[in-house]
Structure 1
Amino acid sequence: MMASIARSALLRQAASASKLSLATSSAARQSIIANSVRASAFHTTSRRNLLPPLPQRVEGTVNDPAPVPEPSPSHGSYHWTFDRLVAASLIPMTITPFAAGSLNPTLDALLCATLLIHSHTGFQAIIVDYIPKYRTPRARKVFTWGLNAATVVVGLALYEFETSDVGLTEAIKRIWHA
């Protein structure tokens, strides 16, 4: 069963066509194989673009060097190190309130802030990676502002939840024991 899942559609259809070879004529076999080739190559054909290409723009000539981005300490190794530190700090900060049995509002607020920063930098990395500024500058700006607005709204919601309700760790405890 596992081997049949791992095979591509073309191989499965070719295998079924070979099984039908005893019962069908040569022309029928050829049409089955031709249809399976067309069906498996659907996504690579240039005649059927599923999505239109993004706007194309060429800057410079073939002999121009590749553009080198301006060095910035906030992007690159410091940015990566900060992301790893935030991600690594979430492990003990998530376990401590439940293991110690204490409900500390400061620790709870620190956990919420770290979760918010971790989520914001993760979505920011997705926007930077998948929405290039040079090809779609307006979409990049819209997504960046949308992320900033969502981060502010979630931050305010977490603050309100922490100050006027039971807090994050107590809510998780109540859900866990429900």
Structure 2
Amino acid sequence: MFSKGLFQSQAIRALHSTSKRSLTIPFLSTLPQNPGGVKGDVNDACLPPPSPDRLHGSVPWDVERVSAVALIPLVGSALASGGDVSVVADSILATVLLGHVYVGFQSCIIDYIPTRVYGKNHNYAMYLLTLGSLFAGVGIYKLETEENGLTGVVQKLWTASNHSEEKK
């Protein structure tokens, strides 16, 4: 019975020491934080009040929702036609999909790599996201001009697995 209580206290102590580590990304350097994450006193949050700015909230949210809704008919038309869509529709599908993925990853970076904790690592993550999106845009351009487009590549991948199973 004594060993069970000792084991429980060691487990709780280990949990407390690991919980602090699990709240941060281990390989990124962090800024020193104030106790409890609070700066100043209770009234400092109200002074001065921030000016209203639509670019910090509603506009990115609207863009994310519009791109998500726009993907429904674009993907639906590609599926309904069996992959034989026009180059314009395929280009719009690939561009809207890239924009939707960009905004989604940007939201993840904002939520999980905040500036107040990770400092310049937040900016590095945003730069890497932008750089990766630019490379993806170049890849989309090459798919549309040199291949059959995004839906053509997906159609080839879909039928390639069926042909390899039929040969066996």
Judge same fold: TM > 0.5, yes or no.
yes
Q: Percent identity?
A: 31
Which residue matches 2:92?
110
Whichever structure has more helix as a proportion of its residues is: 2
Answer yes or no: is 1:35 the counterpart of 2:35.
no
Q: What is the aligned length?
A: 149
Secondary structure, aligned partner of 2:62: helix
The structure whose RCO (Cα within 8 Å, separation 6+) is larger is 2
Counterpart AA for 1:64: D
Answer yes or no: is 1:44 the counterpart of 2:16.
yes
- In structure 2, relative to structure 1, the CA distance for the partners of 1:96 and 1:128 (3 Å cut) is same
TM-score (normalised: structure 1):
0.71
Distance in 1 between residues matched to 2:131 and 2:57, nearest whole Å: 24
- CA shift for structure 1 position 62: 4.3
- In structure 2, relative to structure 1, the CA distance for the partners of 1:174 and 1:63 (3 Å cut) is closer
- Structure with larger Rg: 1
- CA shift for structure 1 position 49: 5.1
- CA shift for structure 1 position 85: 1.2
- CA shift for structure 1 position 41: 4.9
Distance in 2 between residues matched to 1:61 and 1:41, nearest whole Å: 31
Distance in 2 between residues matched to 1:120 and 1:156, nearest whole Å: 15
Pairing 1:23-102 to 2, within 5 Å after superposition: 29-45=1-17, 50=21, 54-56=31-33, 59-66=39-46, 68-101=49-82, 102=84
Answer yes or no: is 1:140 the counterpart of 2:117.
no
Misfit runs of 4+, over 6 Å: none
TM-score (normalised: structure 2):
0.75
Distance in 1 between residues matched to 2:132 and 2:50, nearest whole Å: 28
Is the 2:109–2:126 contact (alpha carbons within 8 Å) kept by the matching residues of 1? yes
Pairing 1:13-24 to 2, within 5 Å after superposition: none
Which residue matches 2:164?
none
Counterpart AA for 2:8: S
Distance in 2 between residues matched to 1:144 and 1:177, nearest whole Å: 37
Distance in 1 between residues matched to 2:106 and 2:74, nearest whole Å: 23
Is the 2:30–2:119 contact (alpha carbons within 8 Å) kept by the matching residues of 1? no
- Out of 133, 144, 148, the position equivalent to 1:166 is 148
Q: Which runs of 5+ in 2 are unaligned?
A: 161-168
C-alpha RMSD over aligned residues: 2.6
